[in-house]
Chains A and B, each alone.
Chain A
Amino acid sequence: MKEVIAIIRMNKMNETKRALSAAGISSLTARKVVGRGKGKVDYLLLEGAKSGYEEAINQLGPGPKLIPKRMLNIIVTDNLVEKVVKTIIKVNQTGSPGDGKIFVEPLIDAIRVRTGESGDLAIVEDAVPAANEV
């Protein structure tokens, strides 16, 4: 069982959700986060600011700039990881920096609160009909 942590653009959220449920992965947790990436900050500038050059400090601005993003936490069985990653990349790729990152983290256990099932049984979706099918 793996946790896929994806950080994506705010305006790609609906598209991503639609694509994921079309791929058969409907459960996810989403959060609004802020953050920054590798950025385009020149390290010479940083060095300059560190050694106290006015010019460099002015160019850097007052503080670190953080950009709003959406963070998705998707917990899936091992065999679905590739599908999730590919779907997210396909939908979110615009080619310019700031598209986001995807991390895959191993999980030890998951437990479904309703039934107390644990392990892979707690996260498989096959048995549960989708809301619009009921």
Chain B
Amino acid sequence: MIVIPDFSQDFFALFGLRRAYRIDAAQLDQAYHEMQGRVHPDRHAHLPETERRLSMQWATQVNEAYRTLKKPLLRAHYLLRLAGAETDHENNTAMSPAFLMEQMEWREAVAEARAAGEHHELEKLMQRLERHGGEILAEVERSLDAKKDYEMAADAVRRLMFIEKLEHEIQDALEALESQD
């Protein structure tokens, strides 16, 4: 007998976690594996078509829930949504001029390092950016978990989205340099 997960609850409840930004990653992994162990299509491959289709749907939802909680930025987004505070990232592009300035500087540094073929420099930029992202994530955690200040959290999440985009740019640049080797 399969115990079907209750998909009407939020993702935190689904995995038996407290609804907060700070989560126990090992506990999430374990809950995810345990749940996929029950619903995954491989467990139902010998059953009739209907069961197999249902199992695919369950497994799909469990994967989606896991991915949302696993990635810090998605998790923060999701918490804001649950709290009714959208980040409104499609429309709200009003970032502080200081932040935008900083972004431009980062971007220029990446472009320069790429043009000069500075593999090492790109890696250093990546490390700095990751540290910077980590600091903002700490801010997110403080404003979500301690202060419950969703406006502040949403602002930090918007900044993180810029950072993530930059990280992708650095990765692309690194791969481009490597394939020239």
A and B physically associate: no
| Chain A residues close to B by CB (< 8 Å) | none
